[in-house]
Amino acid sequence: MQVTLSAAANVTANFAIDFVVNQPPLANAGADQTVNAGLKVALDGSGSNDPDHGPSAITYSWSQTGGPGVALANPTTVTPDFTPLEAGTYIFKLVVNDGLAKSVPDTVTITVNDTVYLIIQAPNVGEVWNVGSKQTISWISHNIDRKKLLLLYLSTDNGLNWKKIASARNVGFKTWNIPKKRYVSKQTLFKICLKQTVPICDQSDASFTTNQAPVAEAGMKQTVILGTNVTLNGGASRDPDYGPAALIYKWIQTRGPVIVLTGADTVTPGFIPSAKGTYVFGLVVSDGSANSKQDKVTVRVNPPRLVRLPLVS
């Protein structure tokens, strides 16, 4: 572009205008795969690229276009995954975006063969199970007779060592009474196996916690004078395994003249007695998963003492 200002000024200005043409990125959904049913499959879009590296880092969008429907975990990442439970041909599409333009879709085909498998369903995602409670271990199986006996194992050292805890018929679940002392505060994994020449097993995807309930301490009993501010104290309450959450306090009045308890969800609530008598308060603490047994404290409220003045003669 050329601009001439005026004859008097006789000045010429030249402007150069650069145009940047963005090239769309290229999607690469990875190589086709052949796998067995019941095993986790990872897709791989790491071969995707952007010729001109911008204007932004490429983002990923996966979707299923064929085969038995499955839940695709993390479909906006480079390597999403899924677990096929039945044989078939699964097709997935990948589109990548550089912040300005989308790629042409690329597809990948996963051929799934029928096979024998076991898959633990629970516990499988980091649950918290309280000691002394009844919990259900559940699984799904394929091509395994329901009359077959399965073995259940537990590990408290991240899978280095396994201890058999039960056996169960292949009906899909087993109720487990968690021992009160044996596995307290442990990070625990389960494994379930069909015993044969080559055992078929599955292990928890994530460890779960066996949680011990906290202990409530409502403090020492008190004797006070009517009209006095009274403070309760649950500060001696404790949680042997410090979790999964910080202690939560809940105070209630269980006996005595009715009062307003200020801060009933704190460590040290307070009240002003409305009349003489015996006041009883209960405290329950929770660690976010289990409640303690209730502990109680008594506050005895006496009337004000009368002070007798000496007679003046």
Is the pLDDT at 208 greater than 80? The verdict is yes
Half-sphere exposure in the Cβ direction for 249 (13 Å, CA): 23
Q: Which of 66, 88, 113 is the last residue of a domain?
A: 113
Residue 200 shares a structural domain with residue 125: yes
- Distance (Å) of CA 176 to CA 111, 167, 213, 220: 37, 11, 18, 39
188 with 182: CB under 8 angstroms? no
Q: Which of 211, 241, 264 is the last residue of a domain?
A: 211
pLDDT value, residue 4: 47
Is 307 within the bounds of a domain?
A: no
Residue 105 shares a structural domain with residue 172: no
Residue 204 shares a structural domain with residue 254: no
Is 103 within the bounds of a domain?
A: yes
Nearest in space to 204 (alpha carbons), one of 159, 163, 257: 159
Greatest Cα pair distance in the chain:
126
Q: Which of 211, 236, 270 is the last residue of a domain?
A: 211
Residue 170 belongs to domain with CATH number = 2.60.40.10
Is 142 within the bounds of a domain?
A: yes
pLDDT value, residue 180: 84
Spatial separation of the C-alpha atoms in residues 47 and 28, rounded to whole Å? 5
Q: How many domains does the chain have?
A: 3
pLDDT digits (tens, 9 = 90+) for 51-99: 998 899 999 999 999 999 999 999 999 999 999 999 999 999 999 999 9
Question: Would you call 112 exposed, middle or buried from its count of C-beta atoms within 10 A (0-12, 13-18, 19+)?
Answer: buried
Residue 108 shares a structural domain with residue 130: no
Is 269 within the bounds of a domain?
A: yes
Residue 109 shares a structural domain with residue 125: no
CA gyration radius, the chain: 35
Put simply, whether the predicted model's pTM sits higher than 0.75 gets the answer no
Spatial separation of the C-alpha atoms in residues 47 and 94, rounded to whole Å? 11
Is the pLDDT at 306 greater than 70? The verdict is no
Is the pLDDT at 1 greater than 70? The verdict is no
Residue 226 shares a structural domain with residue 281: yes
Spatial separation of the C-alpha atoms in residues 188 and 145, rounded to whole Å? 28
Taking residues 163-172, what's their average pLDDT? 94
Is 310 within the bounds of a domain?
A: no
Residue 52 shares a structural domain with residue 85: yes
Is 125 within the bounds of a domain?
A: yes
Instruction: Quote the domain boundaries for residue 122.
Output: 117-211
Is 22 within the bounds of a domain?
A: no
pLDDT value, residue 3: 46
Percentage of the chain surpassing pLDDT 90? 81
Residue 151 shares a structural domain with residue 207: yes
Residue 127 shares a structural domain with residue 203: yes
Judged by average pLDDT, the poorest of 18-27, 104-113, 186-195 is 18-27
Residue 142 shares a structural domain with residue 108: no
